[in-house]
Structure 1
Amino acid sequence: MGESGVPTIDLQEFPGQKLRRACEEWGCFRLVNHNICLTLMADMKRVVRSLLDLPFDVKKRNLDVIAGSGYMAPSQANPLYEALGLYDMGSSQAVETFCSQLDASPYQREVIEMYAKAIHGVAKDVARKLAESLGLSGDYFESWACQFRINKYNFTPETIGSSGVQIHTDSGFLTILQDDENVGGLEVMNPSGVYVAVDPEPGTLLINLGDIATVMIRVPVFAYLFQ
């Protein structure tokens, strides 16, 4: 565990009950040995920065099939937050549309396609292992949409200490976060109900349970509804 106490899960150790315990007690964990190469992770960060530096007129082309899955400009509720996204990165057509909307270069397209495929694979692997820890088997998550978001927090010296985004829970099943290696700020609630800082750890991913997974873990019988 890191200083914050957030559990660390090694994806290659068939974590089973350790994974379930981390989910029940914390609702989040650090993932290591996830098989996404460090070079690809670094390349994706460079692409993310370049896309979010695009002119507003280009970014607003990023529309998607449901509200909130495309471009989100800073708002009154979240004045420092900005994001691009698509509804399902498991769909090659959706990824292609996303790249076309933003006039992505061949290099950017290649990185986005590789990263989307890799993260989608990790999501399915973690979800499968979580289901197995509950005594379930089968590809429950194979056809689930996997939303992809790239986020930017527009801090200035005057806004340091402000919230980047409102306190919230995630509405989906799992959130996989590649956090910024240079800037922290993320906080999660520990088992005692106290918010603690979760500092970045290079080369790792932070996994957060969404509302759907929380129901599945806290009330395991509900998991059978996904068959």
Structure 2
Amino acid sequence: MAEGGDFKCIPVIDMQEFEGVEQYRKLREASEEWGCFRIVNHNIPVGLMTEMKKVVRDLLDLPMEIKRRNTDVIAGSGYMAPSDKNPLYEALGLYDLGSPQALRDFCSQLGASPHQREILEMYAQAIHDLALDLGRKLAKSMGLFSDLFKDWPCQFRINKYNFTPETVGSSGVQIHTDSGFLTILQDDENVGGLEVMDKSGAFVSVHPWPGTLVVNLGDLAKVWSNGRFCNLKHRVQCQEASIRVSIASFLLGPKEAAVEVPPELVDAEHPLLYVPVTYEDYRKLRIATKLQAGEALELMRAQT
């Protein structure tokens, strides 16, 4: 199933078609060939997605002094102001949307109304459940039956791109991979800009499609799958003078344990590629080396 039109597009996965083996084959193929896919029929109500986007826009429009109250437990999980590197971009966030206390703290920092809190809680529960379901389905696509992901934190980030006429053609966020296992993106319904790199090195535009979600795999998915899954390189480009808002949820990795290759994925044709690594150690490695597009994985190579 394609997104439509004559342009090249990312795979589409229907979440209601996993009764047989065919959809798992499609999921594995999308993960290996692209490292991303769009999901439809994902059981998150469109009405909740719409209400969540309204809440997000209101929070991002708060005065700077209020947004700066959004601090969190690791660097990059709270408020991110526009910077020299990404001058058009700002974000709010928290480390683990699966933690009720963390979500309450996030709401309190920003003075969220009772209605906003309710929407945030409903969305957090729905997206966290979806992230775990996707993790299980990805494991099953590899022939593994695992609830490995159930205790993993799911980082939450709401993004705003302040595009102006002068910035058309420039970068909103530079080329990077995500450091964790997988990301679920509720993109802007009207304003495009997300571009993903295919295996040839060409960038492919991911066009707005309301009601759907985009999933991409990160560096730790490549580690866990012993190099089979693609860690997606992607960026955001300014295509028009407009405000662009998106919601990203990142299934990171275990809080303390290491991500390691399951023994079932190592054999004579697929020797062990990566040593075990915790999410926190890998996150710090990326920061220390300033390698943001998957290059840090080369430092995690197993000795042969």
Residue 161 (structure 2) pairs with residue 153 (structure 1): yes
Partners of 2:74 and 2:153 lie apart in 1 by 12
Match of 2:96, SS state, is: coil
Query: Alignment partner for residue 103 of structure 2, among 95, 108, 119?
Result: 95
Residue 75 (structure 2) pairs with residue 36 (structure 1): no
Query: Alignment partner for residue 223 of structure 1, among 238, 259, 262?
Result: 262
Partner of 1:120: 128
Is contact 2:68–2:79 with CA below 8 Å preserved after alignment?
Answer: yes
Is there any run of 5+ residues in structure 1 with no aligned partner, and where?
Answer: none
Is there any run of 5+ residues in structure 2 with no aligned partner, and where?
Answer: 229-259, 264-275, 278-304
With normalisation by structure 1, the TM-score equals: 0.96
Partners of 1:217 and 1:198 lie apart in 2 by 25
Is contact 1:4–1:198 with CA below 8 Å preserved after alignment?
Answer: no
Match of 1:118, SS state, is: helix
With normalisation by structure 2, the TM-score equals: 0.72
**Partner deviation per Cα, 1:131-189 (whole Å, 9 max, x = no partner):** 01111112100000000000000111111111111110000111100000110011001
Match of 2:191, SS state, is: coil
Counterparts in 2 of 1:18-37, with a 5 A limit? 18-37=26-45
Q: CA deviation at 1:223?
A: 3.5
Q: CA deviation at 1:218?
A: 4.6
**Partner deviation per Cα, 1:104-129 (whole Å, 9 max, x = no partner):** 00010000000011000110011100
Partners of 2:85 and 2:185 lie apart in 1 by 22
Match of 1:164, SS state, is: strand
Counterparts in 2 of 1:45-124, with a 5 A limit? 45-124=53-132
Partners of 1:166 and 1:88 lie apart in 2 by 25
Q: How many residues align?
A: 226
Which has the greater radius of gyration? 2
Counterparts in 2 of 1:169-188, with a 5 A limit? 169-188=177-196
Larger RCO, structure (CA 8 Å, separation 6 or more): 1
**Sequence identity percentage:** 67
Is contact 2:226–2:261 with CA below 8 Å preserved after alignment?
Answer: no
Query: Alignment partner for residue 152 of structure 2, among 114, 124, 144?
Result: 144
Query: Alignment partner for residue 13 of structure 1, among 9, 17, 39?
Result: 17
Is contact 2:31–2:217 with CA below 8 Å preserved after alignment?
Answer: yes
